């Protein structure tokens, strides 16, 4: 049963979430990342799905990645399992379209690392950012060839450039050759909710949340694929009102659980899947 549940989950994650696929002409070793490359990274499941610590007690992630996020379960931050207090999903979340964002409240504040800041300006167009995650990998020529299970927790980071920043979305494209950045990359399978981030003298800022590829492609992570991320600056008011609000305010601005399960998941099998892939003490 456990093997079957993992197969189901891998299919779900591969179809609906993202990690790092790299250039074919750059050594994979150059993409290998360390935990301190983005200390605020949170991981929800044993095989991936990420978020970003933006406040000692709050993690921002993609709504669709929260199918097993619930009070009493755990999320890994800085190598330590942290207990989840509550989930707040944006009420306008529409799968495959928009508002793919959620907040996760922790029972105890994270005091051993500094949270990332949310990017509040609207000048993202043309900015070079980083992605990071432990999901599947491959190259732009082949697309993803190693899934998030086979990757076995190896952390990678890659660069990209924001080509669209409008309304609730920011977008990227996987360029090659002279059009690509030195460590160009895009999302593959296994890390929905991961950050698009930048670093400055004050620390890290998260600009986007990994949501989905745009359109239909025969292979995840091939060159010219366009990636869609949730635009943090668009949701800064919602984030602040949830974090700073009282119980009544939070309830009026969110849903306590994901109501649109990813393809392949049903309410019947969800408890077994969550038990199988959940972070444990």
Angle at alpha carbon of residue 86, lines to 63 and 107, rounded to 5°: 130
pLDDT at site 217? 61
pLDDT at site 114? 97
pLDDT tens sequence across 192-237: 899 999 999 989 999 999 999 888 665 788 999 999 999 999 999 9
pLDDT at site 137? 83
Q: Is the pLDDT of residue 14 over 70?
A: no
pLDDT at site 108? 98
Average pLDDT in the 246-253 region?
97
Q: How many domains in the chain?
A: 1
Judging by beta carbons within 10 Å of its beta carbon (0-12, 13-18, 19+), is residue 127 exposed, middle or buried? middle
Of all helices (H) and strands (E), which one includes residue 275?
helix 270-277
Contact 54, 239 (CB under 8 A): yes
pLDDT at site 20? 85
Closest by alpha carbon to 225, among 151, 175, 160?
175
Angle at alpha carbon of residue 266, lines to 153 and 276, rounded to 5°: 35
DSSP 3-state of 230: strand
pLDDT at site 7? 46
Q: Is the pLDDT of residue 15 over 70?
A: no
Q: Is the pLDDT of residue 6 over 70?
A: no
User: What is the CATH classification number for the domain harbouring 202?
Assistant: 2.40.10.10
| Percentage above 70 pLDDT, the chain | 90
What DSSP letter does each residue of 45-60 carry, written as one string?
ETTEEEEEEEETTEEE
The predicted model scores a pTM of 0.93
| Percentage above 90 pLDDT, the chain | 75
Q: Is the pLDDT of residue 122 over 70?
A: yes
Q: Is the pLDDT of residue 3 over 60?
A: no
Of all helices (H) and strands (E), which one includes residue 80?
strand 80-89
Average pLDDT in the 266-274 region?
94
pLDDT tens sequence across 135-160: 778 899 998 876 666 676 789 999 99
pLDDT tens sequence across 18-69: 458 999 999 999 999 999 999 999 999 988 899 999 999 999 999 999 999 9
pLDDT at site 13? 46
Q: Is the pLDDT of residue 4 over 60?
A: no
pLDDT tens sequence across 170-192: 999 999 999 999 999 987 777 78
pLDDT at site 10? 45
For 23-50, give one letter per residue: b (16+ CB within 10 A) or e.
beebeeeebebeeebbbbbbbbbbbbbb
pLDDT tier at 16, thresholds 50, 70, 90: very low
**CA 166 to the chain's CA centroid:** 19
pLDDT at site 135? 76
Q: Is the pLDDT of residue 272 over 60?
A: yes
> Which domain covers residue 255, as residue numbers?
2-277
Q: Is the pLDDT of residue 274 over 90?
A: yes
Contact 203, 197 (CB under 8 A): no
């Amino acid at each position: 049963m456990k093997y079957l549940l993992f197969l189901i989950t891998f299919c779900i994650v591969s179809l609906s979430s993202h990690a790092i696929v790299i250039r074919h002409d750059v050594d994979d070793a150059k993409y290998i990342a360390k935990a301190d490359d983005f200390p605020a990274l949170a991981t929800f499941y044993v095989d991936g799905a990420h978020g970003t610590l933006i406040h000692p007690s709050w993690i921002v992630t993609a709504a669709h990645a929260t199918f097993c996020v619930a009070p009493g379960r755990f999320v890994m931050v800085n190598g330590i399992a942290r207990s989840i207090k509550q989930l707040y999903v944006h009420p306008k979340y529409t799968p495959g379209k928009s508002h793919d964002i959620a907040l996760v409240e922790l029972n105890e504040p994270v005091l051993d690392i500094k949270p990332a800041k949310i990017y509040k300006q609207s000048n993202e167009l043309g900015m070079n950012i980083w992605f990071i995650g432990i999901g599947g990998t491959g190259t732009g020529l082949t697309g993803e060839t190693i899934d998030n299970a086979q990757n076995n927790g190896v952390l990678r980071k890659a660069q990209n450039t924001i080509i669209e920043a409008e309304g609730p979305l920011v977008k990227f494209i996987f360029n090659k050759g002279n059009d690509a950045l030195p460590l160009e990359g895009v999302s593959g399978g296994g890390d929905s909710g991961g950050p698009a981030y930048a670093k400055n003298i004050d620390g890290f800022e998260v600009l986007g949340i990994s949501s989905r590829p745009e359109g239909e492609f025969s292979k995840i992570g091939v060159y010219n694929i366009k990636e869609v991320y949730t635009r943090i600056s668009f949701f800064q008011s919602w984030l602040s009102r949830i974090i700073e609000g009282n119980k009544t305010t939070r309830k009026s601005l969110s849903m306590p659980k994901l109501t649109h399960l990813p393809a392949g998941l049903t309410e019947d099998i969800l408890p077994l899947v969550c038990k199988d892939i959940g972070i444990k003490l």
